[in-house]
Amino acid sequence: MAVPLFVLGNEHNRRYPQRKLLENLSEFEIRKHTGLPWWGVRELLQWLEPLVEPKGFTNHALTAESKVLTALGFFRSGGFQWLMGSNGGLSQSTTSRIIEQVSKALVRESPKIISFPNAAEQTRISTAIHVKSQFANIIGIIDGSHVNLISPSQDERSFVNRKQNHSINVQLICDDKFRFIDAVARNPGGAHDSFVFRNSHIYHRFLTGEFGNGKLMGDSGYFRSPFMEVPYARRVITPLQRDYNKRLTSARCAIECTIGRWKSRFRSMHRSGGELCYAPRKVCQLIIATLTLHNFCHTTNIELLPEDDDVFDQIVREIQQEN
């Protein structure tokens, strides 16, 4: 999908493109190309401007506003950079540099935005989940989610997932309020969810008893342990175990909805956006960048747009079918 972005044609008396400012864009344009309302983009700009503003201003310097709008347009669409650039007056190389600069700034900020809750917040989460599902001591809900990419030039087979697509397997943990509290984006799509978990930092934190009686809740892709609740196999199941599975499935809706919100707002992360035409390292960078944006939107109460509801429903259905 092409993304015409925020740049007017050249003025006759200048050699460089005259960029549109946010105030010159209609609400429709902003919502269509960023997935955010006008005031939401303004909130993001206030946060990101100090991180990406050029150190020196020249006739050819791109403002922080232009950079953020361009990156948001890419995260939203998953469109090809050269097509975006040609429609927006930016070269492919310039667009690529903008997206990388903004992504790196977001990755640097990610530890502040995606962080495991403190003891008081863990208590709040476990209480909320217990009230809903009667599971005790659950402080996070875990799942894996795939982001497609083009076939890598090295170790290609390890990136092939069970659907025969090339992807990154992203491990995600959320709380009860649709906020990501931990994310691992470095494993190829062929890696099993349980393997990703065993090799993650959060696993070793649970293993050493850092979270006391705290537990995670996962699907059948994970293994049962003192700090992981998973469903019982359906081959031979008692009525009590069937009730357990039903309550667990209900509670796990939180992670499905959180992933759905992330991917429907930033559609480059969903397979309907096509394959990301980058090397795995850069795709992992883009994943963390958009997860950070998701949490920022959550913290500042930037809701999903009504026009994203159908995409959200589709993504959640796909997750439920896979699980």
d(CA 236, CA 131): 28
Which residues neighbour 311 within 8 Å (Cβ) at sequence distance 6 or greater?
263, 264, 267, 270, 272
Identity (one letter) of the amino acid at 242?
R
Backbone angles phi, psi at 17, to 5 degrees: -65, 140
pLDDT tens per residue across span 80-99 = 544 444 445 677 788 889 99
Per-residue pLDDT, 198 = 97
Q: Which residues contact 159 (CB under 8 A, 6 or more apart)?
A: 149, 151, 152, 166, 167, 168, 188, 189, 190, 280
pTM of the full predicted structure?
0.89
Q: Encode pLDDT of 263-284 as tens digits.
A: 999 999 997 667 788 899 999 9
| Residue 89: predicted pLDDT | 65
218: Cβ–Cβ under 8 A, 6 or more apart, which residues?
141, 142, 143, 193, 197, 228, 229, 230, 252
7-31: average pLDDT: 58
Side-chain half-sphere CA neighbours of 219 within 13 A: 21
- For residue 165, give the nearest of 185, 190, 183, 186 by alpha carbon: 190
Q: Are 78 and 267 in contact (CB under 8 A)?
A: yes
119 burial type by CB count under 10 A (0-12 exposed, 13-18 middle, 19+ buried): exposed
Which whole number is the average pLDDT over 141-160?
Answer: 94
